[in-house]
Amino acid sequence: MPIRIASRKMFLAGNWVNRERSIEVRDPQDNSLIDTVPAASKEDMLHCIEEAKEGAKLAASMPVHERMAVIQKAADYIEKNKETYAMTIAREGSKTIREAAKEVNRCLETLRISAEEARRIAGETIPFDQSPGSEKRVGYYLRVPIGIIGAITPFNDPINLVAHKVGPAIAAGNAIIVKPATVTPLSALLLAEAFDKAGLPPKILSVITGYGSEIGDVLVTHPAVRMISFTGGLEAGEEISRKAGLKKLSMELGANSPVIVLEDADLDEAVQVTVSGAFWAAGQNCLGVQRIYIQESIREKFQRKFVERTRQYSIGDKQSLVTDMGPLITEKEAIRVQQIVNEAIEKGSKLLTGGERRGAFYLPTVLTDVPDDCIIAKEEIFGPVVLLYGVKNLAEGIEKANDNDYGLQAGIFTNDIKKAHEAIAKVEAGGIMINDSSDYRIDAMPFGGVKNSGLGREGIKFAIQEMTELKVVCYKLS
């Protein structure tokens, strides 16, 4: 079924526009052409930023109830067209239709929470008379919009991660310019369509399709853009931080997420949850389980069950309801994963299952005995590969889990509350899931990491805090 998104136009400051140059959007499953989108130029981005200056003023002047109504109407529009949205996500990206449907539902939740949080952007009174000589002063602080926000989003959650930037930005009274991933722009354009249909005033939102090398630097470096919200890889994040200049940065930069499984855990539950956490969206998930540390007394049993469950995974057509896992986003990415796995095997890692590429598909892969000097042991694989290790006890599990430059989320399986709290205190991560995999998240919680996993926090309430600034008001009474 062909997809047509606003006549293949991009959303520039409230207008749907086309360009002579275009970018092909292809289905990674069979490389078939889905659609084309405009390839924006540097001049397009500069024009967009100029328009956003007016958009920021419009957004800041919108009463809170109007912001709430627009966001709710956008969510209503998506809900009425859920099938189209899910099909688009599944076709242009890696997700199966079941995974795509879940992403649409999460997008709805993200937007509805954004509307609700708009009413909670509040300040506090300040007791100025705490300072001698200020007895006749009263006042407060309030939160004000930051202005223009630039958002750069990845391919793996092509609508919900966009919603996580657009929803809070509009709720807080900002203008926002979105540069979606080049390989998955259609879902972001569908989100823009929802806000357009909802009556969002022009110039507040733009979704500009194009190559990052041509328009990304303009967005990142322009002094009128007061904040960059980026989700992507560490190298790109470091480059943005060097170029951005004096502006706010919010970054989620990936992970190499660990899970610890202790001998008192519910083994079947731990296997089921970690297999899903490792291979959701073909492993292209910043929260995906990559390293599992299993107490030696149960290692053999856990390993056997884990491999059995992995081999039951159905790999194939993304549009089929029985498919568990689709392809990686491109064949190039599948080749990259293959090379990293092969390096690990050459250095002595043991392949328990998988390790086979078929075009853009890479079979769910389980490795053990992986040497520390392998790329896959330290870096984010962003593919369907998981590493199993044995550890003597919790202390060793925590030490191994922390021996990494990333710290987004982690998990531990145990029925011992003392051990759970020891892990809570000592595991270096932005979040730790007890009796769950690192992959668990709800859209309302604060989300972000430590070390190289990023800066700041997303999650609607917390993104709004990042996207606003404090203004102090003081009255001198006479």
Query: Taking Cα atoms as reference points, which of 281, 266, 310 lies closest to residue 97?
Result: 281
Active site residue 48: no
DSSP tag of 21: S
Distance CA 298, CA 61 (A): 60
User: What DSSP designation does 109 have?
Assistant: H
Pairwise CA distance, residues 271 & 325, whole Å: 17
Question: Residue 97 and residue 1: Cα distance in Å, rounded?
Answer: 14
Both tokens of 52, joined, read: 């956003």
Q: Give me the helix-helix angle, 97-118 and 160-171, nearest 10°.
A: 10
Residues 6+ apart with CB under 8 A from 206: 11, 12, 13, 14, 48, 51, 52, 176, 177, 178, 192
Among residues 428, 381, 386, 354, which one has the least CA distance to residue 277?
Answer: 386
Give residue 412's identity as a one-letter amino acid code. Answer: I
Active-site choice (252, 263, 333, 428): 252
**Contacts (Cβ under 8 Å, ≥6 apart) of 296:** 390, 391, 392
Radius of gyration of the chain (CA): 23
282: helix, coil or strand? Answer: helix
Q: Is 48 exposed, middle or buried (0-12, 13-18, 19+ CB in 10 A)?
A: buried
How many other C-beta atoms can be found within 10 angstroms of the C-beta atom of residue 348?
A: 10
- The residue annotated as part of the active site, out of 48, 107, 286, 374, is 286
**Which 3 state secondary structure label does DSSP give 232?**
coil
Look at the block and give the residue holding tokens 């009255």: 475
Question: Which residues lie closer than 8 Å to 236 by C-beta, 6 or more apart?
Answer: 230
Q: How far apart are CA 476 and CA 478, in angstroms?
A: 7
Please tell me the distance from the alpha carbon of residue 41 to that of residue 349, in angstroms, as a whole number.
46
Amino acid, res. 474? C
Query: Cα–Cα distance between 353 and 86 in angstroms, integer?
Result: 31
Residue with tokens 């275009």: 22
Task: Tell me the C-alpha to C-alpha distance, in Å, between residue 11 and each of 45, 130, 209.
Answer: 12, 51, 9
* Catalytic residue numbers, as ranges: 252, 286
